[in-house]
Amino acid sequence: MIDAILARRSIRRYTGEPVSDADIRTLLEAGMSAPSGSNKKPWHFVTVTDRSKLNALADSAPYWKMLAEAPLGIVVCGDPAISEKYWDQDGVAAVENILIAVPMIGLGAVWLGCHPTPERMADVRRILGIPDAIMPIAVLSIGHPAEEKEARTQYDEERVHRGQW
């Protein structure tokens, strides 16, 4: 499992080959296996394979251009009505589970930040018809990688505080 975590890298270039329904299901199962406060699971997932919607998302934010090449986007959303306090943290745990699962099934992905930027959240809602009460947390650009990156650690001893600050 540590190898899978270290292999997780941001992949922004894709071959264009479609992601299979089975792989999409695997990624969603990984996301829904994340821990959540009081096991409330306040998440919703929007899978996007329609080229016009992926292009619209790519055009909606300055650093989301790779969605124009991606065959799959997954928007992870939180529902504050289900968990008022932890919808965002639970959603981020789901994002990370998906990102760890991606290279394990031969795919590549990059996390595109959405929450808490109001204009990004509004654009994602508008493009995908997400209700106002649902909070888009992140957009994941996913596909078969057209670039290869080595596994790595980013361990930094200066960020470790033992016993106290």
Residue 163 lies in a domain: no
Query: What strands, in cross-sheet order, belong to the sheet with 43-48?
Result: 43-48, 72-78, 135-143, 108-113
- In sequence order, the 6+-apart residues with CB closer than 8 A to the CB of 122 are none
Residue 71 lies in a domain: yes
CA end-to-end distance (rounded Å), the chain? 30
Q: Would you say residue 20 has pLDDT above 90?
A: yes
Residue 122 lies in a domain: yes
Residue 92 lies in a domain: yes
> What pLDDT sits at residue 1?
79
Q: What is the largest CA-CA distance in the chain?
A: 52
**Distance of alpha carbon 51 from alpha carbon 48, whole angstroms:** 8
Based on the structure, what is the number of domains in the chain? 1
**Do 9 and 32 meet the contact criterion of CB atoms below 8 Å apart?**
no
Residue 154 lies in a domain: no
Which token pair is 130? 């997400």
- Which CATH number characterizes residue 71's domain? 3.40.109.10
Q: How confident is the model at residue 4 (pLDDT cuts 50, 70, 90)?
A: confident
Which token pair is 6? 């270290």
Residue 152 lies in a domain: no
**Distance of alpha carbon 110 from alpha carbon 140, whole angstroms:** 6
**Distance of alpha carbon 131 from alpha carbon 127, whole angstroms:** 11
For 126-155, how does the pLDDT look when each residue is reduced to its tens digit (9 = 90+)? 999 999 999 999 999 999 999 988 888 899
Residue 108 lies in a domain: yes
> What pLDDT sits at residue 13?
96
Residue 137 lies in a domain: yes
Return the bridge partners of 46, or none. Answer: 75
Q: Would you say residue 2 has pLDDT above 90?
A: no
Domain of 52? 2-147
